[in-house]
A and B are shown apart, each in its own frame.
Chain A
């Protein structure tokens, strides 16, 4: 079963606008990761944020983590049509390479 719930389930915006996706989880984490998936293909890693970090940036991406609320958010600034994809958060914990994925947010960026 999935431990991460994401909202919104779907998001439709125009190019140039910002997109924010939220992820909540139930149990403690070592880190939280965000992945992108284009149309039923493999996943691409975007950002990993550790439990002792609060914010992380990578290009147009900004991820925040609030461990007290067990939630994370992914912000994509100045969205482009190429950002159209599904975005998943994944909970990582110490031990082995097992990720527990959220339900995903489908993002549609229109030109």
Chain B
């Protein structure tokens, strides 16, 4: 099976702009999670989607949003970019459909730089 893919791999934006990142999970995986990784804050959970519904959300402002499509592909959007949004954004998929946390399969990430 192909792994988790993320596009684009690198992105440079300026403050105030918005950005959309895309994630394609492993075939058959219905859960998609997003994480932000920065040197200062480390790895932080953004949100998780399952069957097109957001099931859980981390402590991020409303500028960060996401969605999931019927084919399980997911996008996340960040509006009104700030310098502090510069980070590696990681997507992870899991086959899990119910309760309990299983291993997650991570994509290579999208490195976003905000100038």
Contact = CB atoms under 8 A, between A and B. Distances in A.
Nearest to B55: A96
Contact of A44 (B31, B58, B96, B106): B106
Contacts of B100: 30-31, 94
A40 B101 contact: no
Interface string B28-41: 00010101000001
B51 to A, nearest CB: 12
B109 A88 contact: no
A25 B4 CA distance: 29
Interface stretch (B42-50, B64-72, B75-83): B42-50
B90 to A, nearest CB: 6
A27 to B, nearest CB: 14
Given A95-B56, A96-B56, A97-B94, A43 B101 contact: no
A51 B105 CA distance: 21
A44 B3 CA distance: 11
Contact of A98 (B4, B42, B48, B111): B48
12 contacts: A2-B43, A41-B109, A43-B106, A45-B105, A88-B43, A93-B101, A94-B100, A96-B99, A97-B48, A97-B104, A101-B44, A104-B43
Interface of B: 4, 31, 33, 35, 41-45, 48, 50, 55-56, 58-59, 88, 90, 92, 94, 96, 99-109, 111
Interface of A: 1-2, 30-31, 33, 35, 40-45, 48, 88, 90, 92-104
